[in-house]
Structure 1
Amino acid sequence: MCATLVGGMDRLKREYINAAKANGVELKVFTGKENCISEKMGQTELVIVFTNKVSHAARKEVMHYAKSRNIPVRLVHNCGVSSLRQNLATN
Structure 2
Amino acid sequence: MSIVLVGGHDRMHSEYTEICSKRGHRVKVYTQMPTRFEKVIGKPDGIVLFTSTVSHQMIHTAVKEAKRKKIPVFRCHTSSGASLEGLLRELEAKTS
Between 1:25-34 and 1:42-51, the stretch displaced more is 25-34
Displaced runs of 4 or more, over 2 A: 32-36
Instruction: With the length of structure 1 as denominator, give the TM-score of the two structures.
Output: 0.94
Matched-pair contact (CA < 8 Å) for 2:5–2:47 = yes
* Paired residue secondary structure (1:33): coil
AA of the residue aligned to 1:11 = R
The equivalent residue for 2:17 is 17
Runs of 5+ consecutive residues of structure 2 not aligned to the other structure:
none
Residue 72 of structure 1: how far off its partner (Å): 0.2
Alignment check: 8 A CA contact 1:7 1:54 kept: yes
Q: Which structure 1 residue ranges, 5 or more long, are not aligned?
A: none
Q: Secondary structure at the match of 1:27?
A: strand
The percentage of aligned residue pairs carrying the same residue is 31
| TM-score after normalising by structure 2 | 0.90
- Is the partner of 1:59 in helix, strand or coil? helix
Alignment check: 8 A CA contact 2:3 2:25 kept = yes
The aligned length equals 91
C-alpha distance in 2, partners of 1:33/1:68?
Answer: 19
